[in-house]
Structure 1
Amino acid sequence: MPYFASSRGPVTVKDSLLLDNDAAVGIARSLVTPRDVSVLGTRDDNRVVSEAMTLSVQSEISVASVGHRLIVKSHEMEMLRAQLVA
């Protein structure tokens, strides 16, 4: 399980990336890889955080979409299982 730290300590599932700047910055900094550092090295901190936040939101949307598809597939499997039993 990944560990993300903010200025207040570890980021938990109860933190909001959209409502808590400290949590967003902590996660954004943890998402940056060594290759990203060389690409982002010419940008100022605010721009880096802004771009990382955008990536974070895009990632969150992608994960939510995958989660939704898994829920739909799970319901489909339940329906098929019920048809087989009946």
Structure 2
Amino acid sequence: MQVWIVEYIYDDNGAARISTAIIRAEDYDAARQFAANTAPATDFVMSLRPQSDEQFLGRTVIQAHEMTGKMVSDLPDPDIDHDDKDDGAN
């Protein structure tokens, strides 16, 4: 049994909503089927990934808000190593 994280983006009477759920399933196909059957709305987009220590939960939420113009983020991308930045103090 594997743990899967599903993030839904869906329309709620004209408002974009985002929901995250945890699913336990044997494989991707079973998790995908369960996620689709338990979606919070009939029209939705979802992201389904196995749970891992390297996940940045909320990435889909941030991207969705940026796409709809509700938020513009200046947060650093966690996939890019920012420790090697030159701070100009040489």
TM-score normalised by L of structure 2: 0.26
Larger-Rg structure: 1
Higher strand share: 2
TM-score normalised by L of structure 1: 0.27
